[in-house]
Structure formats: C-alpha cells, structure tokens
Amino acid sequence: MALARRKSAWWFAMVTTVMSVLGGLFGYAIGAFAFDAVEPLLHQWGYWGQYEMARDWFARWGLWVVFIAGFSPIPYKIFTISAGVAAMPLLPFLLASALGRGARFFMVAGVMVLGGEKVEHILQKYIDRVGWLTVGLAVIVYLALSY
C-alpha cells in the first residue's frame, strides 16, 4: 500500500502501528486473563518452545524484550501473551510495543517513499535480516551499558 500510494505511506505506517499495538494489548489480555485456555493451543500450533523462551527472556530483560520482539522477525504475538502472563506493567508494555512496532512499520514506509519499486523486492528479501541485525545491535548496546 505504501508503494502504491507513497503520499499516504506515513499514514499507513501510523495505522498499522496503532492496530498492531492494539493487537498486542489483546495478546497481553489473553496472557493475563485467559492463559489456561490458550496454553493447549500454544502446544498444538508449535509455539510452546517460543513461549518458554519468551518467558525466560522476560525474567532477564523485561521491557527490552517487547521492544525487540516488536521490531524483529520474532513472533510478536508470543511476547505479548508472555507479557500478560508475567504481569508486566501495562504502560511500559505499551510504550515498548509502540516503539518497536512503529520503528519497523515506519522504516518500511520510509524505504518505500525514498526507494519506491526499485527497493521493494530488496526490502522483502532482507527485512528479516535487518530485524535480526537490530536485535544483535540491541544486545551489544545492552551488554556495553551493563558493564
């Protein structure tokens, strides 16, 4: 959509960010209030290992996990449910979600506005790598600030 209507790309990024954060809030509510009902589905759909990893990461890094999951190719929905289960404070959850998801969607919009069709296929091919590179950089920054 951003490519087809470049003048609206920023609007599309905003709407996508808001709707994604609202979806994340729904995931948070599932984790907080209905996890017992969802747990069998996580097993059935093959997400249990990712859920356990997310739970462990919450214990270590807190809100940074939500930010990184929001930007990276890691399944964001697993982390939103985990945030609810872990009873992460809602305001930091919403801020980290908005920053992570917004960074991803606005980056895509910016690339579409600046590069157009020439970079569309490149973005589709490399967006996951960019996400993982960002995760790696965030870890390096975290470790550097920790020591």
- Other C-beta atoms closer than 10 Å to the C-beta of 33 total 11
Distance in angstroms (rounded) separating the CA atoms of residues 112 and 108: 6
Confidence of residue 139 (pLDDT cuts 50, 70, 90): confident
Among candidates 45, 54, 44, 103, which has minimal Cα distance to 79?
54
pLDDT attached to residue 6: 67
Confidence of residue 4 (pLDDT cuts 50, 70, 90): low
Model confidence at 39: pLDDT above 80: yes
Q: What pTM was computed for the model? A: 0.74
pLDDT attached to residue 114: 80
Model confidence at 5: pLDDT above 70: no
Confidence of residue 24 (pLDDT cuts 50, 70, 90): very high
pLDDT, one tens digit per residue, over 45-89 is 998 888 888 788 877 877 888 888 888 777 888 889 889 988 889
pLDDT, one tens digit per residue, over 78-129 is 889 889 988 889 999 999 999 999 988 898 888 878 877 777 677 677 777 7
Confidence of residue 38 (pLDDT cuts 50, 70, 90): confident
pLDDT attached to residue 75: 82
Q: Which SS3 state, helix, strand or coil, does residue 95 take?
A: helix
Task: Name residues whose C-beta falls within 8 Å of residue 65's C-beta, 6 or more positions apart in sequence.
Answer: 54, 57, 58, 79
